């Protein structure tokens, strides 16, 4: 047995010891992005698990019976809100028979409450029209300023649930805030040369990201959020991309590449698969690494596509 293995085994044993198992706040989140931020703030005072995986479309997650069991045992449920989980989560919350986790309960946190929300509809839009963003854009975690707001809301909720640990949570928030600010400077530097670059995205996932990093999203492969591409919409989009000289199509990893590839062939644009969530690809293991990965990927793609 080599030394590295022994150290590894020792670490594994240490980590599995239930040091604070009875006191740890059991947190379930709908998405891995929220789980990553809960881990930043909660440290070893929480155990946290996400129901959806980062490589899944968060609007359409297959509900498993194990989700109900996990919700039943949880002290806190953190959701993205703005109807993102509307298609799968509400019945699971009901079935969990956990009164704390019902909307409005002491163990329910809607992270959108304090976030900056874009694309808020002005007219009457309902899900019946197929639009899965009837309450504004639910992909708001893709602006680091919203990541900070989510972290603050989580800090407040965890402190409420475990008052004795409030100093610990506030120190961890301060540390996350500091690291996030340093990272934001890095991402801004990487993407500043491409300020104002026109792009097309598959789903309307990147509104907040585009605002934060000054990209100009001029169209979407989907005719409406949640509605699959149609031939007539695709033709109009290709015409507009050529007119405006769009060089890049951003596609979330869970969409079929057939239409984006056809658009790319016709327009000369490049398809870039970019993960909108922690866990979307193996390198995006936490909230800051998600943006590190995307800023690098986008900057190098825009460099080769635009020659800037």
Question: What are the residues binding Zn ion (CB under 5 A)?
Answer: 225
Closest of 89, 7, 76 to residue 35, by C-alpha: 76
Q: Measured from the CB atom, is 80 or 109 closer to Zn ion?
A: 80
Q: Residue holding tokens 């995205």?
A: 201
Bridge partners, 273 (sequence order): 251
Closest of 249, 287, 254 to residue 268, by C-alpha: 249
Provide the token pair at 33.
């992005």
Q: Measured from the CB atom, is 165 or 252 closer to Zn ion?
A: 252
8-state DSSP, 100: G
Closest approach, Cβ 20 to Zn ion, in A, equals 37
* Separation in Å, CA 22 to CA 45, 105, 107: 10, 22, 17
Closest approach, Cβ 170 to Zn ion, in A, equals 32
What are the DSSP calls for 37-98, one per residue?
A: HHHHHHGGGEEEEESS-TTS-TTS----HHHHHHHHH-SEEEE--TTTTTTTHHHHHHHTT-
Closest-CB residue for Zn ion? 225
Q: Measured from the CB atom, is 45 or 203 closer to Zn ion?
A: 203
Q: Measured from the CB atom, is 117 or 299 closer to Zn ion?
A: 117
Closest approach, Cβ 226 to Zn ion, in A, equals 7
Closest approach, Cβ 116 to Zn ion, in A, equals 16
Say how far apart CA 83 and CA 183 lie, in whole Å. Answer: 30
Parallel, antiparallel, or unpaired: how do β-strands 25-29 and 46-50 relate? parallel
Closest approach, Cβ 31 to Zn ion, in A, equals 12
Q: Measured from the CB atom, is 207 or 301 closer to Zn ion?
A: 207
């Amino acid at each position: 047995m080599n030394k590295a293995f022994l150290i590894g085994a020792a670490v594994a044993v240490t980590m599995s010891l239930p040091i604070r198992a009875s006191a740890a706040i059991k947190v379930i989140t709908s998405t891995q992005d929220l789980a990553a931020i809960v881990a930043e703030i909660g440290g070893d005072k929480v155990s946290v698990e996400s129901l959806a995986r980062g490589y899944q479309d968060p609007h359409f997650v297959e509900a498993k019976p194990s989700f109900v069991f996990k919700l039943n045992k949880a002290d806190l449920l953190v959701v993205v809100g703005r109807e993102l989980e509307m298609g799968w989560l509400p019945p699971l919350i009901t079935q969990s028979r956990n009164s704390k986790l019902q909307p409005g309960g002491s163990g329910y946190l809607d992270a959108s409450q304090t976030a900056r929300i874009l694309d808020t509809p002005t007219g009457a839009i309902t899900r019946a029209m197929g639009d899965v963003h009837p309450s504004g854009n639910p992909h708001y975690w893709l602006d680091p300023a919203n990541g900070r707001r989510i972290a603050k809301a989580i800090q407040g909720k965890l402190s409420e649930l475990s008052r004795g640990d409030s100093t610990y949570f506030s120190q961890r928030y301060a540390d996350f805030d500091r690291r996030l600010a340093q990272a934001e400077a890095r991402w801004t530097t990487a993407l500043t040369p491409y300020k104002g670059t026109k792009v097309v995205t598959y789903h309307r996932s990147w509104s907040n990201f585009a605002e934060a990093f000054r990209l100009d999203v001029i169209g979407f492969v989907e005719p409406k959020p949640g509605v699959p591409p149609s031939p007539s919409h695709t033709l109009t989009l290709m015409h507009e991309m050529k007119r405006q000289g769009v060089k890049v199509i951003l596609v979330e990893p869970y969409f079929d590449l057939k239409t984006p590839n056809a658009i790319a062939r016709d327009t000369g644009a490049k398809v870039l698969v970019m993960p909108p969530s922690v866990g979307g690809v193996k390198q995006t293991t936490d909230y800051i690494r998600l943006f590190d990965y995307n800023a690098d990927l986008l900057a190098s793609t825009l460099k080769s596509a635009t020659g800037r």
